[in-house]
Structure 1
């Protein structure tokens, strides 16, 4: 990156590029199965670890959505010469929309997963989803600081539709703990404070969404509202915040249909 931060990427397959961006405190491994499916279908799957996550460098700062989008754009420039479909899950959905607005020459299509792209919590311009506000943000950040290990496990497990299998939760929890506390804290602020509904009207490329009908962290009504503002398709699946894990077959079919 321009500031010297090194990002871990994984590339699989040949064909039209698809950039996969993970969510808060996780890493490129969440895309293991979708990468195989995309490559088998003739796409070039590119998964990244956002700065501070997975095996990427973890500086003290630089976790606002503009920087995350700039990082992802730099990866695309380095890996492919053609515009990519950008698939962003959760925090990655905010990043994908910002990329499409700031670097439209690099983005052929947006697919947000468990994210509406415009915001993660309620704002004046987006009155949907979990409550926002300084108190809610402060409580989560305090929990992360006071008991990081317990907080991460709860924050991950609570977003499934049904209680996840122990080995699945263990896997995600261990992945999350690779993200340092200062990164998780900064990215919580990004999740709470990013509001970019004003970007929707300027998005010229297709903008599609895959959401879980039982996602505690997302408003389906909000996703429907966003879809009315853009050109694309909304697909609702019978799951929570982790469609690629909770209903993998349906997710694979949905993602391929949008490509």
Structure 2
């Protein structure tokens, strides 16, 4: 397969529904990329060819309820995504892989590393909520209010993506991608999945305890989701005994905004853990 060509969508049937994924195959180090909530695996569309060109096997997976996965599930929590990623490794016959989690699924790759350490060679957290700074009552209220607004008015999500998540402004290509994400919220039945994510716990306490594999923390210096992005990154590094790379000028989705910078940080880590 040409490094710039998107692989074909495949499906994994589980007891609770169907997960969509793709796989570049090959003999390189397997890397599983998980998107954040309300997103799709296509958020890695610019990063995947850079990793593939470097010789790695890249697998991207849609989360429950979004992308091309089935919508209705009993649970949309980060532990479920961890179990799904491990099930996908079993399906593909992969003994060990590096797991990359974005935002909501940062907790998922941490969970997978403690649930099945023999399968996880390393984890990468991209602008994740793991070990986030404690929220006061005002911040908790704002988060709940935002979640309710997204449920009622999908345009709120589109506004966040276009006006906040990408400091410096979005390109036409990113704007078109964001428009598709906003439209997906209006799909019949999607509100159930949306509610599961926006009212779920994206930053569970204590999950980093027991992680023994190598860990890399990537964080945008201008991520609007964190008042102090580097402080959160430092907390994650301390909890995971890992290392950090701050992506200068990036917001909440550096893999889409600055894919080359993310690849430059990720590739040495993959070489080391392989």
**Cα offset, 1:60, TM superposition:** 4.7
Residue aligning to 1:205: 213
2:123 is the alignment partner of 1:110: yes
Q: Separation in 2 of the partners of 1:17 and 1:60?
A: 27
Contact 1:28 / 1:47 at 8 angstroms: preserved in 2? yes
**Distance verdict in 2 for CA 1:156–1:61, change over 3 Å:** farther
Equivalent of 1:83 in 76, 82, 96: 96
2:156 is the alignment partner of 1:151: yes
Structure 2 unaligned blocks of 5 or more: 1-12
Count of matched residue positions in the alignment of Structure 1 and Structure 2: 249
Structure 1 unaligned blocks of 5 or more: none
**Cα offset, 1:183, TM superposition:** 1.2
Residue aligning to 1:95: 108
1:26-175 equivalences in 2 (<5 Å): 26-119=39-132, 122-123=133-134, 132-133=139-140, 135-148=141-154, 150-157=155-162, 158-175=164-181
Contact 1:97 / 1:118 at 8 angstroms: preserved in 2? no
The Cα offsets for residues 91-110 of structure 1, whole Å up to 9 and x where unpaired, read as 12121111112222221100
**Distance verdict in 2 for CA 1:246–1:131, change over 3 Å:** farther
Equivalent of 2:29 in 6, 12, 16: 16
Please, which moves more after superposition, 139-148 or 210-219? 139-148
User: What TM-score, normalized by structure 2, do the two folds share?
Assistant: 0.83
Aligned to 2:219, the other structure's residue is in SS state: strand
User: What TM-score, normalized by structure 1, do the two folds share?
Assistant: 0.88
The Cα offsets for residues 165-195 of structure 1, whole Å up to 9 and x where unpaired, read as 24412212313432522212211122xx344
Contact 2:100 / 2:125 at 8 angstroms: preserved in 1? yes
Q: Separation in 2 of the partners of 1:2 and 1:12?
A: 22
The Cα offsets for residues 40-75 of structure 1, whole Å up to 9 and x where unpaired, read as 212110100011010000115310122121111111
